[in-house]
Amino acid sequence: MDELDRALVSLLIADARQPLATLARKLKVARSTVQSRLERLEASGLVQGYTVRLAQPAERPLIRASVLVSIEPRNQTNILARLKAMPEVERAFTTSGRVDLLLQVAAPTTEQLDAVLDAIGAMPGVRSSESLIHLSVKIDRGP
Protein backbone atom coordinates (compact mmCIF):
# COMPACT_ATOMS: atom_id res chain seq x y z
CA MET A 1 0.00 0.00 0.00
CA ASP A 2 1.58 3.26 -1.09
CA GLU A 3 0.83 6.90 -0.27
CA LEU A 4 -1.90 7.18 -2.94
CA ASP A 5 -3.66 4.09 -1.55
CA ARG A 6 -3.47 5.52 1.99
CA ALA A 7 -4.90 8.84 0.80
CA LEU A 8 -7.70 7.04 -1.06
CA VAL A 9 -8.57 4.95 2.00
CA SER A 10 -8.59 8.08 4.19
CA LEU A 11 -11.03 9.79 1.83
CA LEU A 12 -13.27 6.71 1.81
CA ILE A 13 -13.22 6.48 5.60
CA ALA A 14 -14.37 10.11 5.75
CA ASP A 15 -17.13 9.55 3.17
CA ALA A 16 -17.45 6.25 1.31
CA ARG A 17 -20.24 7.67 -0.90
CA GLN A 18 -17.95 10.01 -2.82
CA PRO A 19 -18.06 9.46 -6.58
CA LEU A 20 -14.87 8.20 -8.23
CA ALA A 21 -14.59 11.48 -10.14
CA THR A 22 -14.62 13.46 -6.87
CA LEU A 23 -12.00 11.16 -5.35
CA ALA A 24 -9.84 11.51 -8.46
CA ARG A 25 -10.10 15.30 -8.33
CA LYS A 26 -9.13 15.38 -4.65
CA LEU A 27 -6.22 13.01 -5.24
CA LYS A 28 -5.18 14.79 -8.46
CA VAL A 29 -5.14 11.59 -10.52
CA ALA A 30 -7.26 10.14 -13.32
CA ARG A 31 -10.63 8.59 -12.52
CA SER A 32 -9.41 5.30 -14.04
CA THR A 33 -6.46 5.32 -11.61
CA VAL A 34 -8.80 5.66 -8.63
CA GLN A 35 -11.06 2.91 -9.99
CA SER A 36 -8.19 0.47 -10.55
CA ARG A 37 -6.66 1.25 -7.14
CA LEU A 38 -10.02 0.73 -5.44
CA GLU A 39 -10.59 -2.56 -7.28
CA ARG A 40 -7.12 -3.72 -6.20
CA LEU A 41 -7.76 -2.72 -2.56
CA GLU A 42 -11.06 -4.63 -2.63
CA ALA A 43 -9.49 -7.70 -4.28
CA SER A 44 -6.68 -7.76 -1.71
CA GLY A 45 -9.23 -7.71 1.11
CA LEU A 46 -7.97 -4.46 2.59
CA VAL A 47 -11.28 -2.79 1.71
CA GLN A 48 -13.90 -5.31 2.74
CA GLY A 49 -17.05 -3.32 2.21
CA TYR A 50 -18.93 -0.11 2.70
CA THR A 51 -21.43 0.60 5.41
CA VAL A 52 -23.97 3.05 6.71
CA ARG A 53 -23.61 4.26 10.30
CA LEU A 54 -26.85 5.31 11.91
CA ALA A 55 -26.98 7.73 14.79
CA GLN A 56 -28.69 6.47 17.92
CA PRO A 57 -32.11 8.01 18.44
CA ALA A 58 -31.71 11.14 20.55
CA GLU A 59 -34.45 10.10 22.97
CA ARG A 60 -32.77 6.81 23.92
CA PRO A 61 -29.04 6.46 23.21
CA LEU A 62 -27.39 3.20 24.24
CA ILE A 63 -25.17 3.18 27.31
CA ARG A 64 -21.87 1.50 26.49
CA ALA A 65 -19.11 0.08 28.64
CA SER A 66 -15.77 -1.57 28.13
CA VAL A 67 -15.40 -4.62 30.34
CA LEU A 68 -11.99 -6.01 31.25
CA VAL A 69 -12.31 -9.73 32.02
CA SER A 70 -9.84 -12.13 33.59
CA ILE A 71 -10.67 -15.79 33.08
CA GLU A 72 -9.45 -19.12 34.32
CA PRO A 73 -7.16 -20.98 31.90
CA ARG A 74 -8.87 -23.19 29.31
CA ASN A 75 -12.31 -21.58 29.81
CA GLN A 76 -12.11 -19.12 26.94
CA THR A 77 -14.12 -21.20 24.47
CA ASN A 78 -17.05 -21.70 26.87
CA ILE A 79 -17.01 -18.08 28.01
CA LEU A 80 -16.93 -16.77 24.43
CA ALA A 81 -19.87 -19.03 23.52
CA ARG A 82 -21.89 -17.59 26.42
CA LEU A 83 -20.90 -14.03 25.53
CA LYS A 84 -21.86 -14.60 21.89
CA ALA A 85 -25.38 -15.50 23.03
CA MET A 86 -25.72 -12.14 24.82
CA PRO A 87 -26.98 -9.52 22.34
CA GLU A 88 -25.65 -6.70 24.54
CA VAL A 89 -22.07 -7.83 23.88
CA GLU A 90 -21.15 -5.93 20.72
CA ARG A 91 -17.48 -6.88 20.50
CA ALA A 92 -15.04 -9.20 22.27
CA PHE A 93 -11.28 -8.94 21.92
CA THR A 94 -8.57 -11.19 23.29
CA THR A 95 -5.77 -9.18 24.86
CA SER A 96 -2.26 -9.44 26.16
CA GLY A 97 -1.51 -8.06 29.59
CA ARG A 98 -3.29 -8.20 32.92
CA VAL A 99 -6.71 -9.18 31.49
CA ASP A 100 -7.71 -11.87 29.01
CA LEU A 101 -10.72 -10.30 27.26
CA LEU A 102 -11.90 -6.80 26.45
CA LEU A 103 -15.64 -6.55 25.81
CA GLN A 104 -17.75 -3.73 24.46
CA VAL A 105 -21.27 -3.98 25.80
CA ALA A 106 -24.32 -1.78 25.28
CA ALA A 107 -27.76 -1.52 26.85
CA PRO A 108 -30.59 1.01 26.69
CA THR A 109 -30.71 1.64 30.46
CA THR A 110 -28.31 1.59 33.38
CA GLU A 111 -30.41 -1.14 34.98
CA GLN A 112 -30.05 -3.38 31.94
CA LEU A 113 -26.33 -2.62 31.68
CA ASP A 114 -25.95 -3.49 35.36
CA ALA A 115 -27.71 -6.83 34.77
CA VAL A 116 -25.43 -7.63 31.83
CA LEU A 117 -22.33 -6.79 33.88
CA ASP A 118 -23.59 -9.00 36.72
CA ALA A 119 -24.23 -11.87 34.28
CA ILE A 120 -20.71 -11.57 32.85
CA GLY A 121 -19.15 -11.53 36.32
CA ALA A 122 -21.17 -14.59 37.39
CA MET A 123 -20.14 -16.77 34.43
CA PRO A 124 -18.28 -19.95 35.38
CA GLY A 125 -14.60 -19.44 34.67
CA VAL A 126 -14.63 -15.64 35.05
CA ARG A 127 -12.12 -14.69 37.74
CA SER A 128 -12.80 -10.96 37.75
CA SER A 129 -14.21 -8.12 35.68
CA GLU A 130 -13.83 -4.37 35.68
CA SER A 131 -16.25 -2.05 33.90
CA LEU A 132 -15.49 1.29 32.31
CA ILE A 133 -18.63 3.23 31.35
CA HIS A 134 -18.33 5.26 28.15
CA LEU A 135 -19.33 8.86 28.86
CA SER A 136 -18.77 10.82 25.64
CA VAL A 137 -17.10 10.28 22.28
CA LYS A 138 -14.11 12.53 21.66
CA ILE A 139 -12.72 10.82 18.53
CA ASP A 140 -14.60 8.41 16.23
CA ARG A 141 -12.75 7.09 13.18
CA GLY A 142 -14.45 3.72 12.88
CA PRO A 143 -17.61 2.31 11.39
**pLDDT value at residue 118:** 97
Q: For the whole prediction, is pTM greater than 0.75?
A: no
**pLDDT value at residue 75:** 94
**pLDDT value at residue 143:** 63
- Give the pLDDT confidence of 31-82 residue by residue, as tens digits: 999 999 999 999 998 888 887 776 655 556 789 999 999 999 899 999 999 9
What's the chain look like in SS3? Answer: CCHHHHHHHHHHHHCCCCCHHHHHHHHCCCHHHHHHHHHHHHHHCCCCCCCCCCCCCCCCCCEEEEEEEEECCCCHHHHHHHHHCCCCEEEEEECCCCCCEEEEEEECCHHHHHHHHHHHHCCCCEEEEEEEECCCCCCCCCC
